[in-house]
Amino acid sequence: MRLSHRGVIAGLIAFSVGMAVVSMEGCKNPDSGKTGGATAGGEAAVRPKTTATGNAVTGNEIPVGEFASLTGSTATFGQGTHNGIQLAIDEANAAGGVNGKKIVLKTEDDASKPEQAQTVVTKLCTEDKVVAVLGEVASTRSMRGGSVCQKYGVPMITPSSTNPKVTETGDCVFRVCFTDDFQAAVAAHFAFDQGFRNVAIFKDIKNDYSMGYAKNFTDEFTKLGGKVTGEQTYQQDDTDFKAQLNSLKAQNPQAVLVPGYYSEVGTIARQAKDVGLNVPLIGGDGWDSPQLIPGAGTALEGCFFTDHYFSVDLRNPDTKKFIDAFKARYGANPDALSALGYDAARLLVDALKRAKTLDGPGIREAIASTKDFPGVTGKTTIDANGNARKSALVFQIKGNSFKVFKTYTPEQIGK
Amino acid sequence: MQALVQQLIYGVQLGSLYALIALGYTMVYGVLRLINFAHGDVYMVGAYVGFYACTRWLPFRDLAANPSAGPTNIALAVVALILAMTICAILGALIERFAYRPLRNGLNDGDAHFWGFVLALPLAIKFGPLVSFRGLALLLILGIGFGFALRPVMRWLRRRIVLSTSRLNALITAIGVSLLLENGGLLVFGADQKFIGNVVPETNWNIAGIQISSGQFTIFVVSLALMAALRHIVLFTRRGKAMRAISHDIEAAKLMGIDTDRVIAFTFALGAALAGAGGVMVAALTHVKVSPLFGLLPGLKAFVAAVLGGAGNIPGAALGGVVMGVAEAFVAGSRFSTYKDAIAFCILIIVLLVKPAGLLGKNVAEKV
């Protein structure tokens, strides 16, 4: 029965074509990465305005929503941020809440999936009737959540999504951290200051953050006079990077930029050592996780990454109180994401207190008019595009911990 | 030239792993004409067993603190490997017994009790962590209770179901088992990724400019050894003879007095043990993250390797694996690294167009 044999093969071919299409899906994403970097030039993008009025406070409680990756591939991001937000909300309630009204935090897990972020934010806006949303670390997920908030007119503050496109979603979306064009420019200046002139790039093609970071780094680094010797890509959940690293090694770079997430960086660092690529790796805030070192072993010793202006080593009085409170409650030192979560929630509480009306437009205006808010990650002023201007740190990994190596202010970078 | 040789070595290393997983696919296809899509997830379970063995169950010592612990840790790593292979073999046999055998022979009371436990698992986890006394006790009580409750259902089903010889049923069941294992993995192991740190001493060798890491070398050597052992079992033991007999003609094998169900279960166990060995070695020696979807892509590529080499053909699966690995390494090392996963499927399409039975497969007409 030759026919049925053919049938099976035809089926297999159809299946393979399907899988090939799925595998190639990743190459669609560079476009989104590029548009992310396109606004890096400085001209203000026009943010769409919302016409929806959001949700208003009705009872004696103020419902505030949070969406976070409590599980999934970037679970430590979501958990760290959630701890910071919870601490800030509890402190605010203990201090009397907002004009006598208690804040109730409703947290939803998006399992590190963009589709799920969209679903849970819709639930928060329509069923839980939250007046504002805090959330997400990953830019891809913040954009999904942001577009939902924009649709319903509910103001949203992202603690740590750095892709410029996030706040371009609309006038309901704000952030309390710097953007990738700034962070990548810091990395470029830093690499140049360290004397690196030839740098290779290894980026995650499925990740908007990684693609945007790589593009902005290339722009700034070439402007300074450096040269990007080669570029290779990987995809989130890949496990073997040696072939790409080996081809990068052939161009003898002085350093390799790996703007990815901690989940892959550790393996990449180990395999870089395996292929004999013994140059420092440079990364961004996506490296900042307690899981980075278990994944990397000693392979990241001496490497650098740019991060938000927060470290337990910078014990100025502003941050000291926060660090002590955090440590007393969770038994561990806060990381930058916890600190940004804490700042985002406190900035929201501050805005709620200043808001003329406790509904969508009122809270939105209050957040937009924030000036010199004293955060634990530096003074925060929200600009016309919903972004915050802040300094950045460069950390070096030394003996299994992160040491502050250098500080860059926006003025130093010329942004 | 040197870079070329280096990429070739990476490709062969990667390929040996694909081959190891592909053997499981091809053996099962050989005896049952079934593509066991759950095989990649068995590989995932192997990696998790490795993780728990290396971090919880076995007394591994920290190498950074005790450099002299190397030999003991290597011995423990062998124990972890055997443990993972054993647990995966049991899992493979269980999958065959409770997912595929009912499609051939119908349901019975044993199935009722098994599915009783499966139903009890999420409930037990909801009310207590699985490793706690409360969780285990709940699992036991609920599992037995559900089992007895399901017995009349199974008996009713047995009377109602007309067994079909359609291969499509088994294929869809395989996809179902795969989904069950992936999502069950989320439930039991959690969605957060886990890393195995350095458990055995690791070095890099530089031979005339070619870099070889001890971990990758170990994976390659152990894979070869396991494949040699498999070849011995299939060609020179009674069980192997029975397997080959079944793959020729299952009905005739039954008439010759071969307990086909047992041999089929053994085949599943054998393939699963190899996948488990692959999983634990990759997790412990290359330190990649272990997550419930750990087996998805390697499983798919191994499946492609098995078809490429000729489904049902054991040397073919090994060859297919190496071809896939080398192709992937060369593409990943070129400017087109984004397409490295797509290339696997392109190769499959081309080979199937030119040689529909696979590289080493024989194109025999099936009798009706």
pLDDT higher than threshold 50 for residue A27: no
Plot region of B364 (φ>0 → left; ψ -120 to 50 → alpha; else → beta): beta
Chain B partners of A71 at a C-beta cutoff of 8 Å? Answer: 190-192
**Cβ pair A247:B297 closer than 8 A:** no
* Residue in B190, B330, B339 closest to A24 by CB: B339
B139, B162, B185 — which closes off a domain? B162
pLDDT higher than threshold 90 for residue A390: no
pLDDT higher than threshold 50 for residue A33: no
Per-residue model confidence as pLDDT tens digits over A117-170: 999 999 999 999 999 999 899 888 999 999 999 999 999 999 999 888 899 989
Residue B37 CB-density burial (10 A; 0-12 exposed, 13-18 middle, 19+ buried): buried
Q: Angle at the Cα of A246 (from A244 to A248), degrees rounded to 5?
A: 70
Q: Among all residues of chain A, which has the CA nearest to that of B307?
A: A12
**Is residue B339, in this structure, part of any structural domain at all?**
yes
Q: Are residues B69 and B197 in the same domain?
A: yes
Shortest CA distance to B212 belongs to which of B73, B13, B17? B13
**Cβ pair B213:A5 closer than 8 A:** no
**Is residue B363, in this structure, part of any structural domain at all?**
no
Q: Any chain A CB within 8 A of the CB of B201?
A: no
Shortest CA distance to A173 belongs to which of A372, A414, A16, A363? A363
Per-residue model confidence as pLDDT tens digits over B191-234: 777 888 888 888 888 888 788 888 889 999 999 999 999 999 99
* Residue in A13, A73, A232 closest to B349 by CB: A13
Q: How many CA atoms lie within 13 A of A312 on its CB side?
A: 13
Question: Other C-beta atoms within 10 Å of B360: how many?
Answer: 18
Taking one residue from A and the other from B, the number of pairs with CB-CB distance under 8 angstroms is 139
The pLDDT value recorded for residue B130 is 66
The pLDDT value recorded for residue B199 is 83
Q: Mutating which of A1, A203, A274 best tests the B interface, going by the most B Cβ atoms within 10 A?
A: A274
Q: Any chain A CB within 8 A of the CB of B342?
A: yes
The pLDDT value recorded for residue B108 is 82
Contact B361, B316 (CB under 8 A): yes
The pLDDT value recorded for residue A41 is 40
The pLDDT value recorded for residue A20 is 45
Q: Are residues B158 and B174 in the same domain?
A: no
Range of the domain at B315: 2-106+163-354
Chain A partners of B340 at a C-beta cutoff of 8 Å? Answer: 243
SS3 A27: helix
Beta-carbon contacts of A85 under 8 Å, excluding residues fewer than 6 positions away, are A66, A105, A134, A159, A341, A342, A344, A345
B146, B162, B178 — which closes off a domain? B162
**Is residue B326, in this structure, part of any structural domain at all?**
yes
Q: Angle at the Cα of A347 (from A343 to A352), degrees rounded to 5?
A: 150
Determine the distance in angstroms separating the CA of A400 from the nearest CA of chain B, rounded to an integer.
Answer: 12
Q: Are residues B236 and B173 in the same domain?
A: yes
The pLDDT value recorded for residue A415 is 67
Please tell me the distance from the alpha carbon of residue A214 to that of residue B300, in angstroms, as a whole number: 31
**Is residue B365, in this structure, part of any structural domain at all?**
no
For A308-320, the three-class secondary structure string (H helix, E strand, C coil) is ECCCCCCCCHHHH
Per-residue model confidence as pLDDT tens digits over B307-327: 888 888 888 999 999 999 999
Beta-carbon contacts of A28 under 8 Å, excluding residues fewer than 6 positions away, are none
Average pLDDT over every residue of A90-107: 91
For chain B, the three-class secondary structure string (H helix, E strand, C coil) is CHHHHHHHHHHHHHHHHHHHHHHHHHHHHHHHCCCCCCHHHHHHHHHHHHHHHHHHHCCCCCCCCCHHHHHHHHHHHHHHHHHHHHHHHHHHHHHHHHHHHHHHHCCCHHHHHHHHHHHHHHHHHHHCCCCCHHHHHHHHHHHHHHHHHHHHHHHHHHHHCCCCCCHHHHHHHHHHHHHHHHHHHHHHHCCCCECCCCCCCCCEEEECCEEEEHHHHHHHHHHHHHHHHHHHHHHHCHHHHHHHHHHHCHHHHHHCCCCHHHHHHHHHHHHHHHHHHHHHHHHHHCCCCECCCCCHHHHHHHHHHHHHHCCCCHHHHHHHHHHHHHHHHHHHHCCCHHHHHHHHHHHHHHHHHHCCCCCCCCCCCCCC
Torsion angle, alpha carbons of A143, A146, A150, A156, to 10:
-150
Contact B47, B294 (CB under 8 A): yes
Q: Which domains does chain A have, with CATH numbers?
A: 61-178+315-390 (3.40.50.2300), 181-309+394-413 (3.40.50.2300)
**Token duo for residue B13:** 């290393």
The pLDDT value recorded for residue A42 is 43
The pLDDT value recorded for residue A39 is 39
Q: Any chain A CB within 8 A of the CB of B192?
A: yes
Q: Any chain A CB within 8 A of the CB of B293?
A: yes
Q: Any chain A CB within 8 A of the CB of B332?
A: yes
**Is residue B194, in this structure, part of any structural domain at all?**
yes
SS3 A239: coil
**Is residue B154, in this structure, part of any structural domain at all?**
yes
**Is residue B366, in this structure, part of any structural domain at all?**
no
Chain B partners of A16 at a C-beta cutoff of 8 Å? Answer: 304, 345, 348-349, 352
pLDDT higher than threshold 90 for residue A46: no
Q: How far is CA B79 from CA A80, A172, B276, B289, in A?
A: 36, 57, 13, 21
**Is residue B176, in this structure, part of any structural domain at all?**
yes
Q: How many CA atoms lie within 13 A of A124 on its CB side?
A: 34
The pLDDT value recorded for residue A8 is 47
Please tell me the distance from the alpha carbon of residue A373 to that of residue A381, in angstroms, as a whole number: 6
Q: Any chain A CB within 8 A of the CB of B330?
A: yes
Q: Among all residues of chain B, which has the CA nearest to that of A241?
A: B332
Q: Are residues B185 and B225 in the same domain?
A: yes
Helix ranges, A225-300 (H): 242-249, 262-274, 292-296
Question: What are phi and psi for residue B243, nearest 5 degrees?
Answer: -60, -45
A47 DSSP 8-state letter: P
Q: Are residues B58 and B126 in the same domain?
A: no
Please tell me the distance from the alpha carbon of residue A379 to that of residue A376, in angstroms, as a whole number: 8
* Residue in A5, A20, A246 closest to B333 by CB: A246
**Cβ pair B332:A267 closer than 8 A:** no
Beta-carbon contacts of B80 under 8 Å, excluding residues fewer than 6 positions away, are B49, B50, B53, B54, B58, B199, B280, B284
Residue matched to tokens 């591994």: B60
Chain B partners of A1 at a C-beta cutoff of 8 Å? Answer: 365-368
Beta-carbon contacts of A305 under 8 Å, excluding residues fewer than 6 positions away, are A282, A283, A284, A285, A287, A288, A394, A395, A397
Residue B156 CB-density burial (10 A; 0-12 exposed, 13-18 middle, 19+ buried): exposed
Reported confidence tier of residue A28, pLDDT bands at 50, 70, 90: very low
**Cβ pair A276:B342 closer than 8 A:** no
Contact B276, B43 (CB under 8 A): yes
* Residue in A9, A111, A243 closest to B7 by CB: A243
Determine the distance in angstroms separating the CA of A139 from the nearest CA of chain B, rounded to an integer.
Answer: 19
**Cβ pair B191:A263 closer than 8 A:** no
**Token duo for residue A54:** 């959001």
Q: Among all residues of chain B, which has the CA nearest to that of A242?
A: B10
Q: Are residues B116 and B81 in the same domain?
A: no
Reported confidence tier of residue A237, pLDDT bands at 50, 70, 90: confident
Q: Listing from the earlier edge strand, what are the strands of the sheet with A227-234?
A: A227-234, A198-204, A255-257, A281-283, A304-308, A392-398, A401-408
Q: Are residues B99 and B115 in the same domain?
A: no
Q: Among all residues of chain B, which has the CA nearest to that of A13?
A: B349
pLDDT higher than threshold 90 for residue A201: yes
Query: Could you please report the per-residue DSSP string of A283-309?
Result: E-GGG-STTHHHHHTTTTTT-EEEEES
The pLDDT value recorded for residue A40 is 40
Reported confidence tier of residue A34, pLDDT bands at 50, 70, 90: very low
ipTM of the prediction: 0.75
Q: Are residues B59 and B93 in the same domain?
A: yes
Domain total of chain B: 2
Q: How far is CA A213 from CA A36, A188, B157, in A?
A: 9, 10, 58
Residue matched to tokens 């037990």: B124
Chain A partners of B288 at a C-beta cutoff of 8 Å? Answer: 239-240, 267
Task: Label residues A249-279 b or e (16+ Cβ within 10 Å = b).
Answer: beeebbbbbbbbbbbbbbbbbbbbbbbbbeb
pLDDT higher than threshold 50 for residue A323: yes
**Cβ pair A5:B356 closer than 8 A:** yes
- Domain containing residue B7: CATH number: 1.10.3470
Q: Are residues B66 and B46 in the same domain?
A: yes
**Token duo for residue A341:** 């979560």
Please tell me the distance from the alpha carbon of residue A257 to that of residue A215, in angstroms, as a whole number: 11
- Report CA B344 to chain centroid distance, whole Å: 19
Contact A243, A233 (CB under 8 A): no
Q: Any chain A CB within 8 A of the CB of B297?
A: yes
Q: Are residues B205 and B70 in the same domain?
A: yes
Q: Any chain A CB within 8 A of the CB of B282?
A: yes
List, as ranges, residues 55-84 from B with C-beta within 8 Å of A.
64
Q: Are residues B202 and B232 in the same domain?
A: yes
Chain B partners of A75 at a C-beta cutoff of 8 Å? Answer: 191-193
Query: Could you please report the per-residue DSSP string of A88-108?
Result: HHHHHHHTTTBTTBEEEEEEE
Determine the distance in angstroms separating the CA of B41 from the nearest CA of chain A, rounded to an integer.
Answer: 15
Question: What are phi and psi for residue A49, nearest 5 degrees?
Answer: -100, 145
Q: Are residues B56 and B198 in the same domain?
A: yes
B137, B162, B187 — which closes off a domain? B162
Per-residue model confidence as pLDDT tens digits over B343-368: 778 888 888 888 888 888 776 655 54
Q: Largest Cα–Cα distance in chain B?
A: 70
